[in-house]
Amino acid sequence: MAGTDVNQVAISSLNHIKGQDKVIDVLRVNIDAYFNSRQNGTCASFGPALLVGPSGTGKSLVAKAVHSELANLDLIEANSEMLTVGEITAMLIQATDETTIFLDEAQSLDTKVQHILLTALSEKKLFTPKKNNKGGYAIPLANFTLILASTHEYLLQDALRNRMRIYARFDYYSNDDLIGIVKQRADSLGWDYESEDVLRIIAKRSKQTPRIALNRNLQMAWNVCSSENRALITLSDTLRAFQLLDIDELGLDALERSYLQELSKNESVRLNVVASKIGLPRQTVANVIEPYLLRQELIEKIGSERVITDKGKAHIEHFFRSNCLIDGDLMTNE
């Protein structure tokens, strides 16, 4: 029976990860070294590891695959931004040699929490504070596995970042890798598709990230198909999905196109001006809207000024001239 949710599939091995070959090689070498050390009688832990890269590139998925590869029994995940001193202390004390602690968006960790992690890694102990003129005492810790993931590793304290023994940098995905990822997930879920064009269009509009390709694009294409009580995702289903999502052939949504439109009205526009025009905080525009547009060479940054490129102008003009979302995908081999 076909699944209904794109996230129903669990990745249990690095062998199932497509793309990020350098990351997989680094982790595979360290996993093999870890098991060889254990066979030789060395009481060692894996890592600690720091997974670095843009949002949506698979850091959490890979962390869970590493946990499975290590055959650890317990996986503890936490929201780094909300993690308190008491919570991290409890995690560390309760952890065993077969526990993996995974902290995503680690750059959001409180400085005190980072200090506790650093002490735990360097001393393998936690130290209780002095109280009522009595000295504190040390609590020994197990050889737990710590994996941190971050989109901005240099916001971590230098001492903690430098303590990481394994450093793996994720990058954006090629279109071929994304096609393979979409195919793998659709096949695993039992979702049939009409042709390779379905996979290609889904991959092309994903901004080079698996999270968008799977969670948004593939899921919506399946939902359109399922709403018609069919079990085969057609090309028409896929294009209808993007029409409903208001996503064009470059993966841009209405807000991103509005940004480009504002830039196209002037030779250059200051960041705070264009942000106010589209109704977003300037930091959101700089951190969320602009990176993909810069990678696609649709805009340029000149100091605090933003300029739309010829490619950006051509895209906007073409989109509004055609007033449809199916352009390009069926006419090219991109």
- CATH number of residue 91's parent domain: 3.40.50.300
Q: Which whole number is the average pLDDT over 228-236?
A: 94
pLDDT at position 131 over 70: no
pLDDT at position 275 over 70: yes
Q: Evaluate whether residue 135 is within a structural domain.
A: yes
CATH number at residue 190: 1.10.8.60
pLDDT confidence of residue 41 = 75
Q: Which two tokens stand for residue 23?
A: 């990351």
Q: Which whole number is the average pLDDT over 59-63?
A: 95
CATH number at residue 280: 1.10.10.10
Q: What is the full DSSP assignment across 131-181?
A: BTTB---EEE----EEEEEES-GGGS-HHHHHH-SEEEE--PPPHHHHHHH
At 330, the pLDDT band (50, 70, 90 cuts) reads very low
Which single residue is written with the structure tokens 């093999």?
32
Among 220, 245, 270, identify where a domain stops.
245
List strand residue ranges (DSSP E) for the chain, in order. 49-52, 74-79, 99-104, 125-127, 138-140, 145-150, 166-169, 192-193, 232-233, 269-270, 299-302, 305-308
93 and 57 part of one domain: yes
pLDDT tens-digit map of 306-318:
999 999 999 999 8
At 11, the pLDDT band (50, 70, 90 cuts) reads confident
pLDDT confidence of residue 136 = 66
59 and 137 part of one domain: yes
208 and 269 part of one domain: no
pLDDT at position 326 over 70: no
pLDDT at position 37 over 90: no
Q: Which whole number is the average pLDDT over 24-39?
A: 93
Q: Evaluate whether residue 332 is within a structural domain.
A: no
pLDDT tens-digit map of 256-272:
999 999 999 988 999 99
Q: What is the mean pLDDT of the chain?
A: 91
57 and 124 part of one domain: yes
61 and 154 part of one domain: yes
pLDDT tens-digit map of 145-181:
999 999 999 999 999 999 999 999 999 999 999 999 9
pLDDT confidence of residue 42 = 75
pLDDT at position 322 over 90: no
Identify the domain containing residue 97 by its residue range. Answer: 20-169
pLDDT confidence of residue 178 = 97
Q: How far is it, in rounded angstroms, from Cα 189 to Cα 185?
A: 6
Coil, strand or helix at 76: strand
143 and 30 part of one domain: yes
Among 169, 186, 220, identify where a domain stops.
169
Among 169, 195, 225, identify where a domain stops.
169
71 and 183 part of one domain: no
pLDDT at position 212 over 50: yes
Which single residue is written with the structure tokens 């993966």?
251
Lowest mean pLDDT among 58-62, 151-155, 271-275, 324-328: 324-328
Instruction: Tell me which residue of 155, 93, 173 sits closest to 126, measured CA to CA.
Output: 93
pLDDT confidence of residue 132 = 62
Q: Which whole number is the average pLDDT over 102-106?
A: 96
pLDDT confidence of residue 135 = 57
Query: How many domains does the chain divide into?
Result: 3
